[in-house]
Amino acid sequence: MQSTLHRLLYDTGTLVDGWRAAAHAGWGWPSFAVDALFQLGWAVAAALFLALNALFIIWFERKVAARMQLRRGPNRVGPFGLLQTLADTGKLLIKEDIIPSAADRAVFRAAPFVVLAATFLLFVVLPFGRGLVAADLNVGVVYFLAVGGISVVGILAGGWASNNKYSLMGGMRSAAQIVSYEVPAVLAVLSVALLAGSLRMGDIVRAQPSYGYILLQPVGFLLFLVASNAEINRGPFDLPESDSELVSGFVTEYSAMRFAFFFLAEYTNLFLAAAFATTLFLGGWRGPLLPPVAWFLIKSYLVVFVLIWIRWTYPRLRVDHLMELSWKVLLPLALLNLLVTAVLVKVL
Amino acid sequence: MYAPTPPRGILLVLDGLASLGKGLWITFSAMFRKPITVPYPEKRVVLPLRFRGRLVMPLDPEKGDNRCTACMRCVKICPNHSIDIEKARGADGEPVPKPASYRYNLGTCIFCNLCVETCPFFAIVMSDEHELATADPSRLVIDLAAEKYSLGGKKGAWWQKKFRGEEP
Amino acid sequence: MSEAPAPDLSTSDEFLLNVGPQHPATHGVLRVVVTMDGEVVKDLQPHIGYVHRGLEKLFENRLYEQIIPYTDRTDYLSAIANNWAYVSAVERLLGLEIPKKVEYIRVLMAELNRINSHLLWLAAYGLDMGAFTPFLYAFRDREEITVMVEEASGGRLTTNYFRIGGFTRDLPASFFPHLQKFLRRFGRAVDELDTLLVENAIFVARTRGVGVISRERAISYGMTGPCLRASDAPLDVRREMPYSIYPSLDFEIPAGRNGDTWDRSWVRIEEMRQSLRILRQAAEGFPEGEHRVRVPRNLEPPAGEVYSAVEGPRGEVGFWVVSEGGRKPYRVKMRKPSFSNFSALPEILRGLKIADLVAVMGSLDLVVPEIDR
Amino acid sequence: MQVRPVDPAAQVSIEPSALRDALTFLRDEGFDFLVFVTALDRPAEGVIELVYRLFSYAARVPVVVRVRVPRDGGRVPSVCDLYRTAEWHERETAELFGVEFSGHPDPRRLLLPDDLEGYPLRKDFTHPNLKPLPEVSAE
């Protein structure tokens, strides 16, 4: 009999399912209430993780960027500046929330929440470990891609509602960019789904060989990395924000907490893109010795590091080059990749 | 190198990919180099002797007083009239070669060093004081003659060196 | 600075975009009113004068010696070149014979200044293009130069080092060891920056063929410096109107072929390498001697006028000094490269995209106080 | 105005009416670079003296063309179409010296604010913010 802690780390799914079954049987609550309580538990855990992850990832990016630029990075607040983000958050929360007088107030206020909500929803299908997932939907991959696309509504709305030409251009760019890069991303993911024979995240992880799909799908992995990097609006694809051209793009008019929400969403999206890539190509939570959660986080943050590394190395693309890259390079490559994968799956 | 005709076709693609790879390598290898920044308030760079901070009129250690003779040369050379000297007067009302006040306006000073260079008696010098921000504008006008700036203390050695370097 | 007639916005899809006075790409306070059609620039209207300080009027009211610190402040990135242009104009009015050593120090300082300015351009241009990392690499090397200049003059940006007739103070003893260290290291640093930014495929795609200006048009617009040389015109004041010891030094004038944004970038990178060559030669042949000639305490140049130009990092920096006797100049006209370079912007930019606006404006290496004076 | 040209540049003084012809001729002769256009105020003679400095990259020689116009209502033809750079230089000279460049395509002010009265680089220009350095006597 293994200890509860051990099971919580290594076999979360069965443990939690056991608890849930016990609750159904023993508590005497209506069945939906028990389910709701358990789902609420997942939501709280996800929200907590989202906050902590953003704190860490922002610090991580600043530290990595600093080291690449021969700087020291945050080193004042807390050990190694770890609490710097907390201090910044505090500052942003007490700042004045400015709404431009000519803005569409309701939309302007709502936009950051739409973006953050879309991000938050993605945690539903993300398998952190064996069974450590809020809902392992049988269309998990499709859900991830579809819901991930919602955030563009928030960005476009924010850009539009600001009533600022720079914001509007940023929002429009973002819409065009996310729509364009969704296509190669989906095609790259499809080839993985073909290999795994399932759209359920958990199945895809289990179906992978121990080295992950990255060796079977190197092109797919690269395509996905580039496309998802573009989808989350980060350098060198940070055109919606492109501070030297569009001042700050769609966030130009935002301040205080609403700005922080966009920021939080951006960094969470960064993690989510990495986590999704980990799940699909790097074998997800699987790995020897360490608990599945640890493996999942290690792999995800490794991908995050690569994305940060890319961001701090390259200049920004031009908007038409961006479109060309998507439609003329990535899309044909992705189609070819899918075709080859399909043929190989059929033949072998 | 200047490439008048950029490579075409697959070569261009390979060339581009190679350039992207090289860029990644440069930033990656930079992670293992020493940071070049100095964590400022705790550590400070050593300022060169010729550094031009705010103007001071140090006390001559031998004389026990400043060396200014109120000759007005610095007032005349100052490009934007940041120095104003009032001559001292003796008991008989006659001017004596001493400044009664030497008002130096830090707010308009552009740290050009012309006053120091023109001074025939090495009475004034630009110090290494550079953290000069203040919330109180009245503190920007300093009477250097009343200040009695001493060359001793922690910075004494630096000052001695600076003065030796400055004087012929 | 009055407004240009606006296009009829009710009947067209065009809209006006105000770039500046506060905009990250303007590097200072200038404004460009862009008529846009989507992301395409239809027309643009530069507005300058936000930092016009009336320096030329001020100079008429200052002694010859007092003008030198002000010349620093017209172009804070090439204080040395401005010092030199002004000082040499007055020296020629006075008919002074400048010692060899003074000329060598001036060349050393001017070339350090050129590298310094080009590095800052590269840093800022990297930012314009969305690459932050080259900024700090450039600043690492720039810091070395700034320290050398600071040791010699006491100032980092506004050096105020040159004096009429030479220098108040000779180069400090620490200068040459630092210079040698810099010369040993900097060649590799330039290559690194070149690879990281200018040779980068994304950068090349954004700049090559963008913002082309022909040799004839560039000259007609009075463009000088790297902006002109990119248009296949190896014209440099150091060659065209030789001054100081430049005729005895061995260096090349790099010139681009197409006159596009990439060529302007490449020319600056190559100029840094050439400056390095000049520095090596000047350090090798550095003579002994006086670091100044004696000039009277009260400078009173005879009546006359002189135009003296040097090759600054941005192009021809010229001072036209008119004396009618007396201790103050009758008129000082500053011929500044950014002024002419910037005036060509509408011609270069018409029909390009808003992202190109940043790329082209950055490649002109504008210094706003120099445009407005 | 006896000026000793320390400059090696050849000095040409012409009438305003001949300016365009002269500059056209010089441009066609290879003086393709207009270094600057500016002016000098000579209140004693009541004239503004316009100075055009040209440079020939081919021959490596400069030439200075001078035109004298009256201080009141001075007017010269614009040379914007000959040298593109003249457009901004002429706008600057016009607002600083009060000379009209007839035929200029865009005769707005360039550097100065719209509400400034007077021509700053004229010798008799006064403005409350323009203070000379105080004369200091050494006694």
Min Cα–Cα distance to chain C from D24, Å: 13
- Residues of chain A above pLDDT 70, percent: 97
The pLDDT of residue C192 is 87
pLDDT reported for residue C44:
84
Among residues C95, C30, C159, which one has the least CA distance to residue C295?
A: C95
A309–B26 CB contact, under 8 Å: no
**How many domains does chain A divide into?**
1
Check pLDDT > 80 for residue A134: no
Q: Are C337 and C317 in contact (CB under 8 A)?
A: yes
List of residues 6+ apart from A102 with CB closer than 8 A = A163
Task: Quickly list DSSP for chain B.
Answer: ---SS---HHHHHHHHHHHHHHHHHHHHHHTTSPP----TTTS-PPPPTT---SEE-BPPTTTSS-------HHHHH-TT--EEEEEEE-TTS-EEEEEEEEEEETTT-----HHHHH-TT---EE-S------S-GGGGEEEHHHH-B-S-GGGHHHHHHHHHHH--
| Confidence at residue C161, expressed as pLDDT on a 0 to 100 scale | 87
- Cβ(A309)–Cβ(A346) below 8 Å: no
Can you tell me the distance from the alpha carbon of C12 to that of C204, in angstroms, rounded to the nearest whole number? 34
pLDDT (tens digit per residue) in D14-57? 888 888 888 888 888 888 888 888 888 888 888 888 899 888 88
Nearest CA in chain A to C358: A245
**A102 in a domain, yes or no?**
yes
Of C1, C93, C331, the CB nearest to D6: C93
Helix (H) or strand (E) holding D12: strand D10-14
The CB-based long-range contact list for B35-41 (8 Å cut-off, 24+ gap) reads: B35/A66, B35/A67, B35/A70, B35/A71, B35/A72, B36/A70, B36/A71, B36/C136, B36/C140, B36/C143, B37/A70, B37/A71, B37/A72, B39/A72, B39/A75
Buried b (16+ CB within 10 A) or exposed e, C9-29: eeeeebebbebbbebbbbbbb
Q: Is residue D135 part of a domain?
A: no
What DSSP string runs through C250-304? -------SS-SHHHHHHHHHHHHHHHHHHHHHHHHTPPPS-SB----SS--PPSE
C98 close to A (CB below 8 A): no
Query: What is the 8-class DSSP label of residue C227?
Result: H
* A162 band by pLDDT with thresholds 50, 70 and 90: confident
D73-132 pLDDT per residue, tens: 888 888 888 888 888 888 888 888 888 888 888 888 888 888 888 888 888 888 777 777
Residue A218: inside a domain: yes
Is A262 within 8 Å of A318 (Cβ atoms)? no
Burial A319-344 (b: 16+ CB within 10 A, else e): bebbbebbeeebbebbeebbeebeee
Question: Min CA distance, B7 vs chain A (Å)?
Answer: 18
Q: Is position D136 within any domain? A: no
pTM for the whole thing? 0.86
State how far residue C36 is from chain B, nearest Cα, in angstroms: 31
Is residue A236 reached through a cis peptide bond, with omega within 30 degrees of 0 on the bond before it? yes
Angle, vertex CA A339, rays to CA A336 and CA A344, nearest 5: 125
Classify residue D128: in a domain, yes or no: no
Of A66, A71, A309, the CB nearest to B28: A309
* pLDDT surpassing 70 at residue A346: yes
**For residue D64, which of D21, D34, D20 has the smallest C-alpha distance?**
D34
Looking at chain B, which residue has its C-alpha nearest residue C142? B36
Give me the CATH number covering residue D95: 3.30.460.80
The larger pLDDT score, comparing residue A216 to residue D3, is at: A216
The residue assigned the tokens 């928030």 is A154
Contacts of A319 in chain C (CB under 8 A): 39, 353, 355
Positions in chain C short of pLDDT 70 = 1-12
**D121 within a domain of the structure (yes/no):** no
Contacts of C among chains (3+ CB pairs under 8 A):
A, B, D
Of A127-136, A258-267, A297-306, B155-164, the poorest mean pLDDT is in B155-164
The H or E element containing residue D45 is none
Please report whether residue A234 resides in a domain: yes
Residue C208's pLDDT is what? 83
Structural domains of chain C sorted by starting position, each given as residue range(s) with its CATH number in brackets: 67-303 (1.10.645.10)
C355 neighbors A319 (Cβ within 8 angstroms): yes
The count of domains in chain D is 1
D43 in any annotated domain:
yes
* pLDDT tens profile B121-158: 778 888 878 888 888 888 888 888 777 777 666 666 66
* pLDDT score, position B161: 63
- List chain C residues with CB under 8 Å of B51: 150, 154
Contact partners, residue B94, CB within 8 Å, separation at least 6: none
Model confidence over C135-194: pLDDT tens digits?
888 888 888 899 888 888 888 888 888 888 888 888 888 888 889 999 888 888 888 888
Mind listing the pLDDT tens digit for each residue in A52-89? 888 888 888 888 888 888 888 888 887 888 888 888 88
Q: Which domain holds residue A110?
A: 95-347
Q: Binning pLDDT at 50, 70 and 90, where does residue B167 land? A: very low
Query: A314 and B23: CB-CB below 8 Å?
Result: yes
Whether A172 is in a domain gets the answer yes
Q: What is the mean pLDDT of chain A?
A: 82
Report the run of H or E that residue C19 belongs to, with start and end: strand C15-19
Tokens of C137: 């690499």
Sign, Cα dihedral of A198, A201, A203, A204: positive
A149: in domain? yes
Task: Kindly report whether the peptide bond that precedes residue A209 is cis, defined as omega within 30 degrees of 0.
Answer: no
Can you give the pLDDT at residue D6?
Answer: 53
| Inside any domain, residue D46 | yes
Closest among C303, C176, C308, C295 to C242, alpha carbons compared: C308
CB-based contact A69 C357, cutoff 8 Å: no
Cβ contacts (< 8 Å) between B110 and chain C: which residues? 69, 73, 158
Q: Domain for residue A51, yes or no?
A: no
Residue closest to A149 by CA, chosen among A190, A101, A103, A181? A181
Determine, yes or no, domain membership for D115.
no
Give residue limits of the domains in chain B. Answer: 55-166
- Please give the interface size between B and D, counted as residue pairs whose CB atoms are below 8 Å apart: 13
Q: Is residue D56 part of a domain?
A: yes
User: Chain B within 8 Å of C346 (Cβ-Cβ)?
Assistant: no
Strand partners, B40: none
User: Which residues of A sit within 8 Å Cβ distance of C?
Assistant: 65, 68-71, 165-166, 169, 235-236, 238-239, 242-247, 312-321
pLDDT for the residue A2: 63
Q: Residue B152 has what pLDDT?
A: 64
* Residue A299 domain flag: yes
The per-residue pLDDT for B168 is 37
pLDDT at D1: 35
Residues in chain B with CB shorter than 8 Å from the CB of D138 are: 71-73
| Residue A20 clears pLDDT 70, i.e. is over it | yes
Residues of the domain holding D15: 10-102
Q: How far apart are CA C47 and CA C343, in angstroms?
A: 10
| Low-confidence winner among A193-197, A230-234, B156-160 (lowest mean pLDDT) | B156-160
Q: Provide the β-strand partners of residue D37.
A: D52
Task: In whole angstroms, give the CA distance from residue C32 to residue C194.
Answer: 30
Note the ipTM here.
Answer: 0.83
CATH of B55-166, one of 3.30.565.10, 3.10.620.30, 3.30.70.3270, 3.30.1360.100: 3.30.70.3270
